[in-house]
Every structure is written in structure tokens, then in C-alpha cells.
Amino acid sequence: MNLNHPAAASYFGLSGYYITWMILMAGLSVFCFIIFKRFKLIRIGKPDPRYTDIGQRVSGLIKDGFLQRRQPRYRMAGILHIIIFWGFIVLGLHSTDLLISGLWPGYAFPFMGGLFGSVYNSVKDLFVLIVLAASMVAIYRRAVIKPHRYQDSHQFEAYLVLCLIIFLMITDMFYEGSRLILEHSTGGFLVAAQLSKITLSGASHDALESVNRFSYWLHILTFFFFLNLLPLSKHFHIITALPNVFFKKINRGALKPPRWGIKDIDQLDAVGIQTYRDFTWKQILDFFTCTECGRCTDNCPANAVDKPLSPKTISMKLRDFGYQNSPLFSNGNIENALILGEVIQDEELWACTTCGACEEECPVFIEYIDKIVDLRRWRVLMESKFPREIEQAYRKMEIYGDIWGMGAALRNDWAKGLNLKTVQADADIDVLYWVGCAGAFDSRSQQVSVSFVKLLQKAGVNFGILGKEENCCGDYARRTGNEYLFEILAKKNIETFHKYDIKKIVATCPHGYNTLKNEYSRLGGKFEVIHATEYIFQLLDENKLSLNKELNKAITYHDPCYLGRHNGIYEIPRKIISLIPGAKMVEPEKNKDKSFCCGAGGGHFWMESSGQRINELRTDQILEKKPEIITTACPYCLIMLEDGIASKEMKGQVLVKDIVEIVSEMI
Amino acid sequence: MDYGGVMNVIVCVKQVAHIYIQSGFDPSTKDIVTDGLVYRVNPYDETAVEEAIRIKEKSGKGEVTVITIGPPRAEETLRWCLAMGADNAVHIVKDGAEKQDPWMTASILADRIKEMEYDLLLFGKKAIDDEMGQVGIFVAELLGLPAVSAVAKLELTDVNKALIQRSLEKGNREEVDCPIPAVFTVEKTLNRPRYPTFPARKAARTKPIQQLRVTRMDESLSDPQMNIVRLAPPKLRPKKILSPDSNLSAAARINFVMTGGMGQKKGGVVGGDPKQLVTGIIDFLKEKKVIGT
Ligand code: SF4
Ligand code: SF4
């Protein structure tokens, strides 16, 4: 016996089909209206070309969007989320089917009848139970376990949405269960429906019919309520996450130019972000998409040492601010509403080390560094308001060509007696060694430069250095927001590279490496750039170098942010260590893409800090595994970790070395 | 503060070669070797420019004019001053070969300045290359104006008077009254020069600079009063960068490097109401492990 569809009945003299139509129309128009408003907010953003590399984007969408690759980085929460995500996809179809069946008498999805239909129905019914359970566990986690990272998130919204999901599942169960009883159907594999059948058994026919109708309408109403709640809450990510993943940043190492589509900064009158209008559309989409999961903040080194920076809070504040200033029912004044100093404070801006941990962790690929640097740009370039130490550094870079303020005349002193070729004397070289300011002027890093030179000489490489014509690469200027100075420095270097017809550059400093490789091309630089570790590995591979001596020590490796997260070089340094006879590799708990910043990036090497220091925290993390030698591949990490060891008064017990040094000692 | 009238300020600036100590002395020119030199605005002059701009900004009226004498590359110095906020720039172009002592420089400057309108003439106390500190005072002499040197605090009390603190030795200060127009040569401690914004630097690149030429034939170029026998480079301070004390933090280490090997006393200032002051001091003592936490 077939049951009448709930919509086939009439309510207060009105046909159920009309009611479905009314709910549909009302629900959809409100939804479209809100989305339109949100879309308008995105439209005030500046352009950002994110339509290239479609293949990579599609595969990212599949892996990071549909397969939720980043979710299990937090195991429990990740699994729950994957379940709920897939539940949504499966059950969304079901809810739509239910809705459509109430629009016309006898209408149903055509493919729901056959084999697909019955398989689908069993699967979706299973999902009803799984999602129900997952949501309850999620509530339990929030309410009882209270993970620290949810602090300050919109908790009410989270509970509301979880309850709505549970409600949708329950109405579905009762709708299906009552239907099965009324139809005298066994129901097969519909587990959830079977379960509700048990609770409903013994009820009268009329009561069952009411349950059936009631749960149908409640389901549909909740469905629309839920749909409209999305763009009003942090659950907008249900709609925006997949697009956001699709439009993710492809070249992580390069900072965003001051404006997309310009060749040089002089084309602009204003640089940076001051009001909402200065964001790009993608940056605004980021705000909509933040799920408030707090994974970013949980991994932020500045936050870990109690600096007033929490990336999650930045997204939340900017989203809430955006919504407040573009209200649904009036026009608002979002375009001119000030952000700097109002929504985002200077202390937040300057605390970021641009380590990229937040971006690496975010399951929906929200970007922070570009935004933070854009805000710094406004402060530095438009208002000249920034920490004092930075100003000293800017002046030194511009006048002397290096932050140390030593000048070109001293730049070559480290190389005295090494018998090095400079390009001025002989430009016929296969590869140019980019020494970098630290490598040239800092006494500790000079040792690394010397080691690298010895190693290249041993391998018989025909290389040279720029000598006095090498200039600061501009990483510091760029990441602290001084794009103008960066362009001056970069253009000077590019000119020098082209003057000597340099084709290939190898750098020991990951900051120089990243800047030359990823940021000079926009300004016309045409050359290949590789990092010293890559080059050493290649030389080892070609048997031009071999590691002969033994090193029976426990060695650990600290991933520099600009080599690892920003450029994806994780394995090569580890492979080099594994080639050292006798070396025993121990990994700190936070390694590879989870590595914890040494505290020097984003200009912090040159800034005063108070309170707990990031480098000391990182040193503690590394020392947990009791290494005898800590290796890294960055001059700044080297100094920071050495300082960390010194502050633990463990100097001499634990050595801090650049991989380059280790290799040069082992050959 | 209202100065009552228009304040036109002229600032004389010099482009100096920095870390000349590295490049050595050339006996043939009796001067420092110019190869590989680094040029910048003399920091004392930069302070003078900053002061002039502040005076203008406060009074809301008047103009700041910067003048320099130097080879074509000295234009960069004027552009920097324009970016800081100077209104006009005059470049007295001089060929590098012609050696010039402070008296000659002063007479060229005085010759131009006497044809201009001004209420105040500012100079840096000295240039960090030759450290002579004479030009400003000579200009005052040539123009018949009062002069005050080593100005550490400057207050324009009414239309034609300035209240000044001069810095003396050992941190002492002398307070003087001076009628204006006058010549003041300023200390670096007078203010902290601004870092020009991007729009200002961009605009400064295309602002007009008035160019004048001096030749030996120029009447204003009087005879040198000084005869240089020999220039000796000072001893190189940080010969090699010393390895800073390993117990220093990175920041302290950098300070160490930046000050040329001398550790700087680190200190902080706590501010706020008495309660904040007290917590500030306690936090400091805890951080330094003087008292327990
Ligand atoms: S880049 Fe690093 S320091 Fe900056 S907000 Fe992200 S995690 Fe924090
Ligand atoms: S930015 Fe990403 S990681 Fe951070 S709270 Fe939002 S969704 Fe989570």
C-alpha cells in the first residue's frame, strides 16, 4: 500500500503542494538576497587573478576540498569533519529529493527508482546515523573537552548548527520510519528508519500519519532555516570553502604584489590596506570562509609566546566588521571604514614572523601573510608609522646596501684568502654563489659561507660571487611592508645579474633564495635559483662529492620556514643527513610542514622582543629529542637556535650547525 | 603654537661620503678615495631639515628651501629632503675636482642666500665626513646675522625671537635668547627625522630643482683660508665583526653589530599611571630574574 505524500494533504484548506512552493520561494528568495549582499561585499575588493593553473586547482579541489586532505592533521576533529562533510553531500541530495517530491503530485527524482535509488537510500540512511553520532561527539568535544583552539570562536553558532544537523537527521528518521510502518514495508537496509520504526511501533495509524507529516514539514523548514543561516554565520564556509580551496594561492613563496596587474609600484598612488576597499576579492572571500576552527592560531609561534596575534581572530574580526558595515537592510559605509588601528591593531601586525604555519594548517586555505604585509605596507609607505628598529634597518639597506650597515667596501672581507672568483674579474662561470648579507657580514654565518666555498671548490665547480656588487636582496624590506625600498634593491640586483649574464644562482640563505627565485621574476629577473642543499645533493648524486667520514651522533634538523613551507624543500636536507655515515636522525615533534618558526622571519631578527622568545621555545621543542647536533639550513635559524642553546646554558653540549658545514666537514 | 607670521626657513645640507674610513686617503688629491663610497645626507643636516619642516607645519605658513653645493650626485640628497617635505631645492653644482674649504663654501652660500627671503637659516652642527662644523658660522658672519651653534632645543617664542637650549659638554645645557633672522646649527638630538612616505618620495623625484653653477671665475668664490696638508683616516673601529657574546639575544647581538662592537646598554622605559608603573617594574625584575615569580 502506498502512503499519500504529506504534501498531498491539505492544511487549513490549503494544498500541501502550495505550501511547499511557498516555503521554497520564501527560503530561496531570502537566501538569494543574503548571498547577493555578500557578493556585493566581495565585489568591492580589488582584482586578483586566480584563474591560471586550472589543472593544479582542480586537483587541489579534489584532494583538499572533496577528500579533505588537511582535516586529519587534527585526528579526532578531522575525522568528525570528514564524516559530516560527506554526510552533507549524501544527505543534501536526499533533502532536495524530499523537497522536490512535495512540489508536484507523484514527482520524484527519476533515478531514485532503480538500483541506484535503493543503494543510495541504504547509504544515506547509514549516513543519517553516522552524522547523528558525529554531531553528538562534536557537541561533547566542544562542551566537555573544550579544545583550547575554540576559545573566542562563536560558540553559540557552532552549537546551533550542530543541533540543526541533529534535528535534520531526527526528522528524517521519523519521516522514513513512519512511512515504512504506514506502507507496511520491511524497509530493507534502511538502518536509521528501522531504528525509528522501533520507537514508533504500536502507535495508531492517525498518530503515525501526523508524525509522518510533521517530520516532513519540520525537515523542509529546518532545511531552509539552515540554508539561510549559512551566509549569516561562520558556517558560510559550507558554501564558500570549496571555491576558496579552488582559488588558493599557488606560488606560496612570493608575496602578493602591491596591486595585481601593475609592473612597478610607481603606477600606484596608494599602497597597502587601510580600508575594506583595499582588500582583494579573494581576501574578502577568505573572511567569509573562516570556520573559526583555530588551527591557525594553535600553530602560530607569535601566539604561542603570548604576543597579541591570533590569525583566527584577525579573520573573525574582519568578517564581523565587514558584515556590520554592510548590513543586510541598508547600505552601510564599508568602503571607507577604517581597519588599521580600529579593527586590527599595530601590535598584531608587527608580531607576525611570516612563518606560514597558519596557512599550512588552515583546512580551507585562508591566507594571512599577504594581508598582514598589505596592512604593514600602508603603515610604512603611506603613514611612515612603524617600529623604530625597522626604520634604522631601512636606512641602512638603502644607504649601505645591507642591514648591517657595513657597506660594499667590507662585503668581501669574509672571502679573503679563499681565492674566489668575482664576476668583475671573470664572468665566465657556471653558477653564481649568492652569499647574502648574513653570509657576508655575520661572523657565525661567514663560517657557513666559507664552508660552502670550500665544498664547491672541492667538487670542482666553476663558480663566482658578485662581490662588492651584491646588494641586500630586499626580503626584509618586502616582508616588513616597504615595497618601495624592495623594488629599489631588487632592480639593482637584477640589473647586476643581467649585466654579468648570470643564468644560475645558488644561495645558502633561504630568504635570499626565496626572494630571488619567487619574487624577482615579476620585476624582470630571468635566472634559475637553487638552494645550497639542493645543489649539494646534486653534487653528491653526481659523485662530485662524497661523504667519507663518520659522524656517530644524534642529529636533528630544523626546517627553516622559507625553505620548507614556502618552498616545499623538506626531503633533500634529510636525505643529505641520511647519507652521512653513522648519523642518527632524530626528528623534533614539530617537523617538516609543521615546523615551528625560529622567530627571526618577517623582519623579526631585527626587532626587539619582550616576554618569552620564540627561539627559546623552539629550542626546548628540539631538545626534547636529545640531539647532539642541531642542523638547519638558514643563517637566521642558525643564530636564533644558537642563542636558544646559549640561553639554556648548554653551549658546547649541543652543537648548532648549518647542513653546509656538516657536509664540508664530512668530505 | 602660532608664530604670528610667515616662517621661511632655509636649510643648507651636505651630501657626505660615509664609511670613507674604508677607502683610504689619496695623496694626489689630498682627499679620501672616492671609489666604492657610500653617500648619504649628513645626519645633522637631516635633523635641521626636519626641524624646518616642523616649524613650517606648526605655523602653517612659509616655505622650506634646501640648498646644497656639490657634484651632480648631490641631487639625491636634495630629493631626499624634498621627500621629507621641503618645498624648494637649490643645487649649486660644483665639479668634483675643485677643492673648497669651509670659507669658500660659506661665501658661495652667503652670496646666494642674501638674495633670498628667509626668517631662519638652519645648518647641521657639523658634517660627519670632515667634522669641521664651520660653514654655518661663517655664513652668519658673511650675512651679518647672529648665530647659535649646537642647538638641542628650539622654540620660537614670538615673531622675531627664539628660545634655545645649546648642548655643552658633559650633558650640560645653556639657554639663550636669540632674535631672528639668525643662523642656528643643530644637534642630532634636536629631533628624530621622519622617514618619508612613498607618495612623498614619488613626488620628490619630479619636483623641480633650481640648478646654479660655480666656477673658479665666480666672483663670490673667495680664496681659500685653509690649507690641507694631509688627511689621515681614523682607525678602523670594527676591523672584523667581533663574534658577539653568545649569551646575548639575537636582538642584543644585532645592536652589538650595529654599534660597531660595543654592547649597548639595554633599557626600557615604563610609563602609565602609578599602578602600571609598579607592575612594569615588577615585570622587569621578574624577567631579569632579580625577584622570583
Ligand atoms: S605567518 Fe606565522 S606568525 Fe604570522 S600569523 Fe601565521 S602563524 Fe602567526
Ligand atoms: S583561518 Fe583557517 S585555520 Fe584559522 S580558524 Fe579560520 S578556518 Fe580555521
Output the pLDDT for position B263. Answer: 39
Looking at the complex, does the CB of residue B270 fall below 8 Å from at least one CB of chain A?
no
**Cβ–Cβ of B241/A443 closer than 8 Å?**
yes
If asked whether residues A273 and A404 sit together in one domain, one would say no
Output the pLDDT for position B218. Answer: 59
Cα separation of A188 and A192, whole Å? Answer: 11
Nearest atom in ligand 2 to the alpha carbon of residue A295 is 3
Question: In this structure, what DSSP letter does residue B173 have?
Answer: E
Asked whether A312 lines ligand 2 (CB < 6 A), one says yes
Q: Which ligand is nearest to the CA of A597?
A: 1
Output the pLDDT for position B33. Answer: 61
Residue A646 lies in a domain: yes
If asked whether residues A137 and A50 sit together in one domain, one would say yes
Contact predicate A624/A600, CB 8 Å: no
> What stretches of A312-416 adopt beta strand conformation (E)?
none
Residue A549 lies in a domain: no
Q: Which of B22, B199, B249 sits opposite A407 (nearest CB)?
A: B22
A175: enclosing H helix or E strand: helix A155-182
Domain count, chain A: 4
Residue A11 lies in a domain: yes
Q: Of A510, A541, A572, which one is at a domain's C-terminal end?
A: A541
If asked whether residues A398 and A374 sit together in one domain, one would say no
pLDDT digits (tens, 9 = 90+) for A169-185: 999 999 988 988 888 87
Query: What's the whole-number mean pLDDT along residues A311-334?
Result: 91
Asked whether A415 lines ligand 2 (CB < 6 A), one says no
Calculate how close chain A gets to B31, using CA atoms only, in Å: 18
A11: enclosing H helix or E strand: strand A10-11
pLDDT digits (tens, 9 = 90+) for A580-590: 999 999 999 99
Bridge partners of residue A507, in order along the sequence: A434, A531
Q: Which residues contact B7 (CB under 8 A, 6 or more apart)?
A: B55, B56, B59, B61, B62, B119, B120, B156
* A340 CA from centroid of ligand 2 (Å): 21
Mutation test of ligand 1: which of A365, A369, A607, A614 has the most ligand atoms closer than 8 Å to its C-beta? Answer: A369
Which residue has its alpha carbon closest to ligand 1 atom 7?
A: A300
Q: Which residues contact A581 (CB under 8 A, 6 or more apart)?
A: A547, A548, A549, A550, A551, A666
% of chain A residues with pLDDT over 90: 76
If asked whether residues A537 and A559 sit together in one domain, one would say no
Contact predicate B67/B109, CB 8 Å: yes
The radius of gyration of chain B from alpha carbons, rounded to an integer in Å, stands at 22
pLDDT digits (tens, 9 = 90+) for A473-493: 999 999 999 999 999 999 999
Asked whether A293 lines ligand 2 (CB < 6 A), one says yes
If asked whether residues A337 and A425 sit together in one domain, one would say no
Least confident piece of the model among A261-265, A429-433, B67-71, B282-286 = B282-286
* Residue count of chain B: 293
Task: Supply the range of the domain harboring residue A660.
Answer: 554-666
pTM: 0.90
Q: Which ligand is nearest to the CA of A350?
A: 1
Residue A259 lies in a domain: no
Residue by residue, pLDDT tens for chain B (293 residues) are: 444 567 899 999 999 887 544 555 556 666 666 666 788 999 999 999 999 999 999 888 899 999 999 999 999 999 999 999 999 999 999 876 566 788 889 988 998 999 999 999 999 999 988 788 999 999 999 999 999 999 999 998 877 889 999 998 888 899 999 998 999 999 999 999 999 999 999 999 999 999 998 765 555 567 778 777 776 666 655 444 444 444 455 555 555 555 544 433 455 666 667 777 888 888 888 887 778 76
Q: Of A357, A382, A407, which one is at a domain's C-terminal end?
A: A382
Name the band, by pLDDT with cuts 50, 70 and 90, for residue A113. Answer: confident
Output the pLDDT for position B261. Answer: 46
If asked whether residues A39 and A152 sit together in one domain, one would say yes
Classify each residue of A290-328 as buried b or exposed e, where b means 16 or more C-beta atoms within 10 Å of its C-beta. bbbbbbbbbbbbbbbbebebbbbbbbbbbbebbbebbee
Output the pLDDT for position B245. Answer: 46
Output the pLDDT for position A437. Answer: 93
Output the pLDDT for position A481. Answer: 96
CATH number at residue A324: 1.10.1060
**Cβ–Cβ of B253/A639 closer than 8 Å?**
yes
% of chain A residues with pLDDT over 70: 99
Asked whether A294 lines ligand 2 (CB < 6 A), one says yes
pLDDT at A408 over 90: no
CA nearest to A583, candidates A532, A633, A627:
A627
Residue A24 lies in a domain: yes
Output the pLDDT for position A293. Answer: 95
Quick one: chain A helix, strand, coil %, rounded to 5? Answer: 60, 5, 35
Cα separation of A560 and A600, whole Å? Answer: 10
CA nearest to B38, candidates A409, A391, A440, A465:
A409
**Cβ–Cβ of B240/A443 closer than 8 Å?**
yes
Cell of A407: 657597506
Looking at the complex, does the CB of residue A414 fall below 8 Å from at least one CB of chain B?
no
Output the pLDDT for position B240. Answer: 43
Residue A298 lies in a domain: yes
Phi and psi at B142, nearest 5°, equal: -65, -30
If asked whether residues A133 and A26 sit together in one domain, one would say yes
Residues of A in contact with B250 (CB under 8 A): 599-600, 605, 615, 639-640, 643
Residue A258 lies in a domain: no
If asked whether residues A77 and A207 sit together in one domain, one would say yes
If asked whether residues A137 and A198 sit together in one domain, one would say yes
If asked whether residues A447 and A376 sit together in one domain, one would say no
Query: What's the whole-number mean pLDDT along residues A633-654?
Result: 90
pLDDT at A8 over 80: yes
pLDDT at A445 over 90: yes
Residue A562 lies in a domain: yes
Name the band, by pLDDT with cuts 50, 70 and 90, for residue A56. Answer: very high
Which residue has its alpha carbon closest to ligand 1 atom 8?
A: A300
Q: Of A330, A362, A382, which one is at a domain's C-terminal end?
A: A382
Domains of chain B, first to last: 9-221 (3.40.50.620), 250-287 (no CATH)
Looking at the complex, does the CB of residue B203 fall below 8 Å from at least one CB of chain A?
no
Calculate how close chain B gets to A620, using CA atoms only, in Å: 16
CATH number at residue A564: 3.40.50
CA nearest to A555, candidates A591, A529, A528, A524:
A591
Looking at the complex, does the CB of residue A77 fall below 8 Å from at least one CB of chain B?
no
Cis upstream peptide for A6 (omega within 30°): no
If asked whether residues A272 and A241 sit together in one domain, one would say no
If asked whether residues A432 and A534 sit together in one domain, one would say yes
ipTM over 0.85: yes
Query: What's the whole-number mean pLDDT along residues A648-661?
Result: 91
Cell of A643: 642563542
Name the band, by pLDDT with cuts 50, 70 and 90, for residue A19. Answer: very high
The larger pLDDT score, comparing residue A524 to residue B95, is at A524
* A368 CA from centroid of ligand 2 (Å): 10
Average pLDDT, chain A: 92
